[in-house]
Amino acid sequence: MHIVVCIKQVPEIERVKVDSGTGKVIVPEDSSMINPFDEYAIEEALRIKEKHGGTVTVLTMGPASAAEALRSALALGADEAVHLMDPAFDGSDAAATATLLAAGIGKLDKVSLVLFGRNAVDTDASSVPGYVAGRLNWPQVLFVRKFVELSADKSKVERMTEDGYDTCEIPLPGVVSVVKEINEPRLPSLKGKMRAKKAPIATFSAAALGVDTAKVGPNSPTTIVRSQPPPTRKKGEILEGEPDDVAAKLFDKLRADQII
Amino acid sequence: MNFELTEDQLAVQEVAREFAEKKLKPRAEEFDTEARFDMDLLREMGELGFLGIIIPEEYGGGGMDAVSYMIAAEELTRGCASHAAAVGLSNSLYGYPLLTYGTEEQKKKYLPGVCAGEKVGAFALTEPGAGSDAAGLSTTFKKTDNGYILNGTKIFITMGAVADNVIVFATSKKGSGPRGISAFLVDKDAPGYEIGTIEKKMGLKASPTTELIFSDCVIPQENLLGKEGHGFRIAMSTLDGGRISCGAMGVGLAQEAFNIAVKYSKEREQFGKPIAALQAIQFHLAEMSIMIENARNLVYKAAWKKDQGQDYSLEAAQAKLYASEISTKVTHKAIQVLGGYGYIREYQVERMYRDARVTELFEGTSEIQKLVIARYLLK
């Protein structure tokens, strides 16, 4: 079984700042890492491989620095890494990214399953997995917490919902995004790290992928009108005193603010 | 001259640091309080490659250099000294003598399991009456038709309570000195093998330190390690390599305590400003940083000489002596920087102070290191 895990290199969110004057997002250069949710997708792919055999390919679209994310995945045990990289891809939105990833998956040998993390912590959109499934015309199940059954041509999974879970069965090939409840990701081993440093990474440019650059990168359908930092939270107020008094004060305040 | 770590060494540092940060550090206080060693973590350290980092790949190890080993030892110790001690044990005290003096069959039989963290190997030299006087053993062996019979008691055996196989040193006759000593690979299920008291210690509490008792313990001939009468040589050459990793542990404890002290000094305010703005604190930090830097350089130099195939006994003793003594000093100062909070468990540095103290004692006390050093200087 050939499993592809789509990963994204993201900045350490707590170190990202937005210049409130220019609206420009400032990302420190040394702050890149694999999107934490993608680590669960990598782990699940490795576990499936260990149980059923097969190969795991990690796939990303991003600038040259994104190769580091691929190497991190190789250190964990992925077999192959594929990097979609072209200046024409810079600035791609979710829809354009999905077009590129789907084209990349199309270049790979007999893919049975495409895994994603539930969302990227930088954009928080959770939209790429669905777009990719659409581009490939494959079935999708998002927010999966468990693979119940898996065979060459179908899979039964549990999808998290707000109040429980659904059991879904899909034919393969298919697209699945996973939640962090699915497993506990492993850490890289010394051997894995050494192997990853020297492993080849296949790169595909726009020409190699055969994609129309008129719809990706700066030509993505999304237009960013304005960026601004999230509003700072107002300082909280701590009511002190005996519980009865505090409850009364709280009630008065909530009433005054017309919350109750 | 080049003070840069290689790319491979930096990768080792990154892997070890991530494991220590995520798996050891968050639970180190709990392990210490409960005096509990986590065998799952041992297996994980095996899977990740730490337990056999300097053991050749053909025996399940990583085949890496001694400098990489020291880097890993320092980083793991920053997370939890008790669990890091298991890495020193498997590589230096058990792995090295087995690799250097063992037969092919012995190496194939015992090393892969220990490197993988599935089995535990231990090293048993010290006795109630033979500590610094390591040749003055009372544990005796008697040759039989198809092996040996061992009698005696060993103490302070790291991981003794959970060991599957132990390298045990015994003498043919009490009082016969270094030449009478031989080394044996003793399985835990050997008849007459018994685990004695598990010691309650000042520090390194999560690492089980145990008494081992041999009562007419039967050892098959093939479990003699090296040649008869070569035991003392095996023990001494083993301790040379082990000393460097003891130094690395000292550096790790000092570095971690220093980091905590720096962070705390920037956050803690007294007299209307962070205490880091006070010279009294700055002087402590400056002194701590120099001690750590010196100790790490000694450790790296001894390991580097080992990697070059040069004699490193002098440097190993210097590194062990200095790094262990500054480990106690730096962790002591870290408590001072934290003031009363430093004396509270939650702030971690008091554990590091307790853990650091043993580095001045195990694998040769400071006084023994000085004798070793002087012997080289006066040669």
Per-residue pLDDT tens for B88-127? 999 999 999 999 999 999 999 999 999 999 999 999 999 9
Q: What is the pLDDT of residues A114-169, one digit of tens each?
A: 999 999 988 888 999 999 999 999 999 999 999 999 999 999 999 999 999 999 99
Q: How far is B40 from chain A (nearest CA, A)?
A: 13
Kindly state whether residues B304 and B329 are assigned to the same domain.
Answer: yes
Q: Hey, which residues of B are catalytic here?
A: 363
**In sequence order, which ranges of B80-170 are alpha helices (DSSP H)?**
81-88, 96-101, 104-116
Residue A248 in contact with partner chain B when CB distance is under 8 A: no
Strand order in the sheet with A80-84: A164-171, A154-161, A140-150, A174-178, A111-117, A2-6, A55-61, A80-84, A202-204
Residue B18 in contact with partner chain A when CB distance is under 8 A: yes
Kindly state whether residues B146 and B97 are assigned to the same domain.
Answer: no
Contact B15 A188 (CB under 8 A): yes
Binned at pLDDT 50, 70 and 90, residue A14 comes out as confident
Number of domains in chain B: 3
Flag whether B304 is in a domain. yes
Q: How far is A50 from chain B (nearest CA, A)?
A: 15
Considering only CB atoms, which chain B residues are within 8 Å of A197?
A: 7-8, 11
Strands A164-171 and A32-34: unpaired
Kindly state whether residues B325 and B288 are assigned to the same domain.
Answer: yes
Which site among B8, B10, B15 would you substitute to test the A interface, given the most A Cβ atoms closer than 10 Å to its Cβ?
Answer: B15
Kindly state whether residues B153 and B200 are assigned to the same domain.
Answer: yes
Task: Give the whole-angstrom CA distance, residue A140 versus residue A170.
Answer: 8
- Enter the DSSP assignment of B23: I
Task: Give the whole-angstrom CA distance, residue A58 versus residue B305.
Answer: 41
Kindly state whether residues B315 and B276 are assigned to the same domain.
Answer: yes
Listing DSSP states for B171-239 in one string gives ESSTT--GGGEEEEEEETTSTTEEEEEEPP-SS-TTS-EEEEEEEEEEEEGGGEESSTT-HHHHHHHHH
**Which pLDDT belongs to residue B60?**
97
The arithmetic mean of pLDDT across residues A233-241, rounded, is: 86
User: Domain with B160 in it: what CATH number?
Assistant: 2.40.110.10
pLDDT at A22 over 80: no
Residue A225 in contact with partner chain B when CB distance is under 8 A: no
Instruction: Give the phi and the psi of residue A259 in degrees, each rounded to 5.
Output: -85, -35
Kindly state whether residues B126 and B224 are assigned to the same domain.
Answer: yes
Flag whether B2 is in a domain. no
Binned at pLDDT 50, 70 and 90, residue B255 comes out as very high
Task: Give the whole-angstrom CA distance, residue B197 versus residue B209.
Answer: 9
Write down the ipTM of this complex: 0.86
- Whether the bond between A173 and the residue before it is cis, its omega within 30 degrees of 0, is yes
Residues 6+ positions from B81 with CB-CB distance below 8 Å:
B203, B204, B207, B249, B252, B253, B352, B355, B356
Task: For residue B19, give the nearest of A75, A187, A191 by CB distance.
Answer: A187
Task: For residue A190, give the nearest of B7, B44, B53 by CB distance.
Answer: B53
Of chain B, the percentage scoring pLDDT greater than 90 comes to 96
Q: What is the pLDDT of residues B187-227, one digit of tens each?
A: 999 999 999 999 999 999 999 999 999 999 999 999 999 99
Considering only CB atoms, which chain A residues are within 8 Å of B15?
A: 75, 187-190, 193
Listing DSSP states for A219-240 in one string gives G-S-------PPPPPPPP----
Query: Are the C-beta atoms of residues B247 and B324 closer than 8 Å to each other?
Result: yes
Helix pair B231-267, B313-338: axis angle to 10 deg: 30
Of chain B, the percentage scoring pLDDT greater than 70 comes to 100
Percentages helix, strand, coil for chain A, rounded to the nearest 5? 35, 25, 35
Kindly state whether residues B174 and B47 are assigned to the same domain.
Answer: no
Q: How far is B52 from chain A (nearest CA, A)?
A: 11
Task: For residue A193, give the nearest of B15, B50, B53 by CB distance.
Answer: B15
Q: What is the pLDDT of residues A210-227, one digit of tens each?
A: 999 998 999 999 888 887
Q: Residue B233 forms beta bridges with which residues?
A: none
Which site among B5, B47, B53, B54 would you substitute to test the A interface, given the most A Cβ atoms closer than 10 Å to its Cβ?
Answer: B47
Nearest chain A residue to B8 by CA: give it: A194
Residues across chain A:
260
Contact A190 B49 (CB under 8 A): yes
Q: What is the residue range of B44's domain?
A: 7-120
Kindly state whether residues B353 and B300 are assigned to the same domain.
Answer: yes
The residue type found at A105 is I
Q: What is the pLDDT of residues B284-295, one digit of tens each?
A: 999 999 999 999
Tell me the three state secondary structure of residue B147.
strand
Flag whether B296 is in a domain. yes
- With CA atoms as reference, report the closest residue to B53 among B96, B21, B23: B96
Flag whether B1 is in a domain. no
Q: What is the pLDDT of residues B24-73, one digit of tens each?
A: 999 999 999 999 999 999 999 999 999 999 999 999 999 999 999 999 99
Kindly state whether residues B31 and B114 are assigned to the same domain.
Answer: yes
Tell me the three state secondary structure of residue B156.
strand
Residue A194 in contact with partner chain B when CB distance is under 8 A: yes
The arithmetic mean of pLDDT across residues A35-44, rounded, is: 97
Task: Give the whole-angstrom CA distance, residue A190 versus residue A63.
Answer: 27
Kindly state whether residues B280 and B355 are assigned to the same domain.
Answer: yes
A2-219: CATH topology is Rossmann fold (3.40.50)
Kindly state whether residues B218 and B261 are assigned to the same domain.
Answer: no
Taking each continuous run of H as one helix and of E as one strand, the counts in chain A are: 7, 13
Give the Cβ contact number of residue A219 at 10 Å: 14
